[in-house]
Amino acid sequence: MGRRWRDGRGEMVVHGGGEGPPVTVPLEIATSYRARTKGLLGRDSVDGVILLSPANSVHTFRMRIPIDVAYLDRHLRVIAVRTMRPGRLGMPRLRARHVVEAEAGVMAGWGVREGALVEVVT
């Protein structure tokens, strides 16, 4: 069930976050090596989320802000969510195929938690 996206913009829809309807969030897609490597480096904020694919780990060296990191499996189910401060190296997640990053503290409000399913709309 391989997924092929291109660098660009879209929306991430969060399903199964518990209470309420699905939540739609602005999405930036980073699939090229260059875009994945840059990620959120050097930014003071992010509008919505950035999807790094393929990816199973991240680091926050040279980042200016703490971030929420959600690890997604091949079916886009959330397998873990962590908050990382700048200057950290995240451990690789064996089942992760994609990583979603956002400003620290926002994912819980969107229902992004272990077991939630996300959808990428381009």
pLDDT lower than 50: segments of the chain: 1
Residues 98/72, Cβ–Cβ less than 8 Å: yes
pLDDT of residue 17: 57
How confident is the model over 45-54, as pLDDT tens digits? 888 999 999 9
Residue 2, in any domain of the structure: no
Residue 1, in any domain of the structure: no
pTM: 0.93
pLDDT of residue 87: 94
Residue 57, in any domain of the structure: yes
Q: Compute CA distances 91 → 25, 36, 63, whole Å.
A: 26, 17, 17
Residue 55, in any domain of the structure: yes
pLDDT of residue 4: 82
What's the sign of the alpha-carbon dihedral 99, 105, 106, 111?
Answer: positive
Domain of residue 71 covers 8-121
How many structural domains are present in the chain?
A: 1
Q: What CATH code is carried by the domain that includes residue 25?
A: 2.60.120.1140
